[in-house]
Structure 1
Amino acid sequence: MNSNLLEFFKKVKEKVNHVDYSAEDIQKFQTIPILNTQCFYIYDFPRNQIVYCRNANVLGFNDDEFSIEHASNFHPDDKILVNTVTQSAIIHAIEDDMMDHNCCLELTFRLKRKDGTYAQVLKQTTIYHLDDNHRMSTNVTILSDISFIQTPGYVNWSFKLNNLNSDHFEKKICGDIKKIFSNTELKLIPYFIKGESSTKIADHFFISKLTVDTHRRNIKSKSGCKNMYDLLTFSSRNKLI
């Protein structure tokens, strides 16, 4: 689940059928009001490209140059988690019959602007077109720049579904996130949350303090958490403890 998202999109391209839609079918979104802090785009999975974009200037781009590569240029500290959650949601939408299911994936993370700085964004994505097998063929995304909000450094997500067991799918995403961490890291997380010293943890597990410190750094890197409170929130949200 941690492979590069762009490579993942190339694989999805082969699994979903093309949908014929008119220019009017896309251009009708031109009349939908959006804030000047929002970017709106439509991504076509079989064509593996953004087929409509509006107000990419939020990130410093012209609409005609904004690509899926730009939309996937996450902050290095956020990349693993955003890739994992995004791929889990997409796999569900292309493997299950989505005819009667309205869904929305919401993610907050840091996305690279054209000038090289990062914006904290809220990404809200929903299915637009289904192919002849009722799988997602295109989706609609609104990116909102929320840099003015003081948010935690780690990635936040939610997945809303109608006519489907949301708990089941949330468990699936949490299960994919859990795979990011090694079995040893999962065992150590509760001790880090409690604030126990590396020396005490090393004695408990009969390993070196250096090994514990290495696991601590790896867990922080994978989760994007900077302190024990963030790690507690992250672990509870993603069912790691």
Structure 2
Amino acid sequence: MSGFRARQGFSRRWMALALVLTISACAGTPEPKRSVRVSRPPPPKAATSKSPEIRQCMANLRASGVLFTPLEDRSFGGGCSAFGSVKLLDIGVPTTNLGAMTCPLAAKFSAWARYGVQPAARLLLGSELIKIETFGTYSCRPIAGSGRLSEHGRSNAVDVAAFVLADGRRVSVTNGWRGDSREQQFLRIIRTSACKRFRTVLSPDYNAAHHDHLHLDMGGRGGFCR
């Protein structure tokens, strides 16, 4: 009987979390629901730091309490660049290895951490989130197994590897995706939350190259979530 009550209580927490994430996903500019697609169109021309949309993006970041440093527009050759980019300094939870990120990516990432990951950790894992670990942002490289430039080469992607909790647990994508049942739910819930914000979300369900991280980017005009 006690096991049934425990399962019933966990189910209620999961339903409450789903409601919180549904509401939080509506914060800011709403995005239409997107279906999974195999191909993506060419990315639009990158906006510079002087463009109205990037200036507005930075103003919105400041208004939300996010601390950041605007970065100089730079082209590194080979199509690699950092246009309209910022370096995040404080999004409310310490985050490792954050370099140049386009402002739209930085805004989505900050909101996802605050309104998606933090409540998920609290409600599903019963502990506060104290750190997000990433593999980084800008990197001038092609997509694994192809000749096309990765969104990392445009400062338009971030790879998230693990989450550290106040109770000492470290939930990594490597171990948690097919590990403890609650960690599995946590990681899949935050992936779903990410899919409502970012244009592309790739997880271990996509291919072996993503076995240890969640790839989040703002490339293309459509959406891909897996």
Provide the TM-score with structure 1 as the length reference.
Answer: 0.28
The structure with the larger Rg is 1
TM-score under structure 2 length normalisation: 0.29
Higher helix share: 1
